Amino acid sequence: MAEPPRIHIAGDRPDLEQAVRDGGGEPAPLDGADGIVSLTGAPAELPPLPESVRWVQLPSAGVEQWIRAGVVRDGRAWTSATGSFGLAVAEHALALMLAADKSLHSFARQRSWTEDGRHQVRSLAGATVLIVGAGGIGRALIGLLEPFGAEVIAVTRRGRDVPGAVRTLPADRVSEAWGEARHVVIAAPATDGTRHLVGTAELAAMREDGWLVNVARGSLVDTEALVDALRSGSIAGAALDVTDPEPLPDGHPLWELPNVLITPHVATPPETERIAFAARVRENVRRLAAGEELEGVIDPDGGY
């Protein structure tokens, strides 16, 4: 019978030690470990890895820093938490969309009753939603949108059909869809190729009643172009859980614009994040022990 994989938890997380045991592994010191579960988002803080380590689990879905640092090309299996937090982030995206349609960004700022308030709201039912990046977050959002009867256009890297979407486009054809949707949801990974995915041309192509919803990374949107579009009214508004720069500085124009709703990168509640990450660790330890393909394997060439 094969020995259980020895996994080092790089931090004080008893729940992750239990996840290792539940997955069929054994918590162990770093020296001689088969794998390591990192709790840092900074490559420089990762300890030197002994040759015995053949798998590294990172704590976040975004891995752009690790790819830039070049560490993920060392021949080991590196996995991210991508997909683990999909439902929680999708819930937040849905909340932002509903808040925009119900004009909560406007009503929350008012200090007197307005008789024309009903004319500022609309229903999400039957609306067209463009989801750019139909991975774990995007697919979870499609499920949440089903009761509303929304028509979803999904964009993936290669354009393979996404269940629940009325149409799926490859990334190189996303320009065909900017003008079709009331809500454009950005849920794609941050890579060199997706930096400023949404810029002046894309915002100009959106509908005037359209809202941009970003729950991915701030770098996917050209902030200056977004401010210009919001000021001119070429789009109706923006709902952002992420910004560029981040944290968004005091006094930044996005704080002052009346057609902007900002949440400070809070889409995944801490306890939800802990539970979901422990589940990812447990499953990947099980797969490591069974010799199966790991979940969330990082593709350094693809950038995620």
pLDDT (0 to 100) of residue 115: 79
Of 29, 79, 71, 33, the closest CA to residue 52 belongs to: 33
CA separation for the pair 141, 152 (Å, rounded): 10
Q: pLDDT tens, 139-168? A: 999 999 999 999 999 999 999 999 999 999
Mean pLDDT of 83-98: 96
pLDDT (0 to 100) of residue 1: 56
Mean pLDDT of 225-251: 98
Does the pLDDT value for residue 303 go beyond 90?
no
pLDDT (0 to 100) of residue 157: 92
The boundaries of every CATH 3.40.50.720 domain in the chain are 6-84+270-290, 86-262
Confidence category of residue 116, pLDDT binned at 50, 70, 90: confident
List active site positions: 217, 246, 265
pTM: 0.92
- Per CATH, the homologous superfamily of domain 6-84+270-290 is NAD(P)-binding Rossmann-like Domain (3.40.50.720)
CATH 3.40.50.720 fits 86-262, yes or no: yes
- Given a contact cutoff of 8 angstroms between Cβ atoms, the answer to whether 19 and 45 are in contact is no
